[in-house]
């Protein structure tokens, strides 16, 4: 009810201010998308990376004449990875009527707050940068996910550490909110299937790097590995402090951490840190979609470097463009939503997506990578090799 009243008030204020600039974000020469994501603060690299990848996909399409003769644009709003700010921006976008839908939102707590608003307003919610299970609910026909779930990632961690390497003691550091608790639940479930429990747990508060207390608690348990569910700045702080204290378990991170940003924050302390991934290796140009992504990124910014986050943004952009194409020349928000719901199975440059009735997630793959001595990445194979 409170969300409805806020939306009503924003709509009233908007109509008093003047007429809508576009019908559902569609004009004769353009289609406009909105992104509400972290563009500043400790998670900024995630929102900025998604934005860069989406823009690369849109600009690639625009250079070829757009979609049915319309250019595709992106307007981004900074929520600082804070749910209240995210909701305020989302409600403003909904009230404004100038965007066909949302694309590239970042985070579980922010999506938990904003997805219901978007769904209630019938706004598309494409490519959220989170593996939270609630976004996979079959009734959410306005939501289109690209990536695999956090549950799949956490299972891959434990399979590698326990089944592959024979580790007996696993601890966890997690962000103390909905995102972190989703990861905690996934790790707990994966261990329980193997008759195990966590050796220790530690938490930190979102948008802080206050991890020392958690580190001291976890270190007491002397775990073989610490699995981590958080953003790159606090995670980097935890690992650097651990190295200083000569605490050297295997560190394993979730894809949301932002691989390149984490490697950059860690520097020499990053060698050997494992990160699970949900999109192809961004440097493997033998896969046509990756070669297309690399070319699109370079065209948008000659200084751009490949990375997992920007590749995920690019894939989200390509999925949205595919639905726009299917929606036809007389696209409306309703026809775009119908096209999203009818994506089905398709191939993008050698990468297979599969959507279906009650299944709004296109990719299912998870693989593990490890930061190398030079700050690059290598694929981890079963048994711990590269």
Domains and CATH numbers, the chain: 26-148+284-355 (3.40.50.2300), 150-277+368-381 (3.40.50.2300)
Residue 4 scores a pLDDT above 60: no
pLDDT, tens only, 192-205: 999 999 999 999 99
Q: What percent of the chain has pLDDT over 70?
A: 93
Q: Which pLDDT score, from 0 to 100, does residue 23 have?
A: 76
Q: Which pLDDT score, from 0 to 100, does residue 381 have?
A: 77
H-state helical runs in 226-374: 232-244, 259-266, 288-300, 308-327, 333-341
- Residue bearing the bigger pLDDT, 42 or 5: 42
Q: Which pLDDT score, from 0 to 100, does residue 6 have?
A: 55
Average of per-residue pLDDT values in the chain: 94
pLDDT, tens only, 8-55: 444 444 444 443 446 799 999 999 999 999 999 999 999 999 999 999
- Residue bearing the bigger pLDDT, 289 or 21: 289
Q: Which pLDDT score, from 0 to 100, does residue 247 have?
A: 98
Mean pLDDT of 94-122: 98
Listed in sequence order, the residues at least 6 apart from 130 whose beta carbon sits closer than 8 Å to its beta carbon are: 105, 106, 107, 108, 111, 150, 179, 256
Residue whose C-alpha is closest to residue 317's, from 128, 123, 56: 56
Q: Which pLDDT score, from 0 to 100, does residue 276 have?
A: 98
pLDDT, tens only, 172-194: 999 999 999 999 999 999 999 99
**How many other β-carbons are positioned within 10 Å of the β-carbon of residue 272?**
13
pLDDT, tens only, 228-263: 999 999 999 999 999 999 999 999 999 999 999 999
Beta strands 101-103 and 143-144 are unpaired
Q: Which pLDDT score, from 0 to 100, does residue 12 have?
A: 45
- Whether residue 134 contacts residue 158, with contact meaning beta carbons closer than 8 Å, is answered with no
Residue 1 scores a pLDDT above 90: no
pLDDT, tens only, 212-228: 999 999 999 999 999 99
């Amino acid at each position: 009810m409170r969300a409805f009243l806020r939306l009503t008030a924003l709509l009233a204020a908007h109509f008093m201010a003047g007429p809508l600039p576009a019908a559902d974000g569609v004009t004769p020469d353009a289609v406009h998308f909105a992104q509400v994501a972290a563009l500043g603060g400790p998670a900024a690299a995630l929102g900025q990376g998604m934005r860069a990848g989406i823009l690369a996909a849109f600009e690639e399409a625009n250079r070829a004449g757009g979609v049915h003769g319309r250019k595709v644009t992106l307007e981004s709003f900074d929520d600082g990875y804070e749910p209240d700010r995210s909701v305020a921006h989302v409600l403003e976008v909904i009230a404004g009527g100038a965007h066909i839908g949302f694309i590239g939102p970042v985070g579980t707590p922010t999506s938990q707050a904003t997805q219901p608003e978007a769904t209630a307003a019938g706004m598309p919610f494409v490519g959220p940068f989170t593996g939270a299970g609630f976004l996979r609910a079959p009734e959410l026909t306005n939501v289109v996910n690209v990536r695999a779930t956090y549950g799949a990632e956490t299972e891959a961690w434990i399979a590698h550490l326990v089944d592959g390497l024979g580790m007996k003691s696993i601890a966890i550091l997690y962000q103390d909110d909905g995102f972190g608790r989703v990861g905690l639940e996934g790790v707990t479930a994966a261990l329980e299937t193997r008759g195990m429990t966590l050796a220790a747990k530690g938490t930190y508060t979102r948008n802080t790097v206050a991890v020392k207390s958690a580190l001291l608690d976890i270190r007491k348990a002397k775990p073989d590995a610490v699995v981590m569910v958080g953003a790159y700045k606090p995670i980097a702080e935890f690992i650097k402090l651990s190295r200083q204290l000569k605490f050297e378990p295997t560190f394993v991170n979730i894809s949301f951490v932002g691989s390149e940003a984490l490697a950059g924050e860690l520097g020499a302390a990053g060698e050997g840190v494992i990160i699970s991934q949900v999109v192809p290796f961004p440097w493997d140009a033998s896969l046509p979609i990756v070669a297309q992504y690399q070319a699109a990124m370079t065209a948008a910014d000659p200084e751009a470097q490949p990375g997992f986050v920007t590749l995920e943004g690019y894939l989200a952009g390509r999925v949205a463009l595919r639905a726009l194409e299917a929606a036809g020349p007389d696209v409306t928000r309703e026809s775009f939503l119908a096209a999203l719901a009818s994506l089905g199975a398709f191939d993008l440059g050698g990468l297979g997506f599969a959507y279906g009735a009650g299944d709004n997630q296109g990719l299912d793959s998870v693989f593990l990578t490890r930061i190398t001595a030079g700050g690059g990445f290598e694929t981890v194979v079963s048994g711990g090799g590269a």
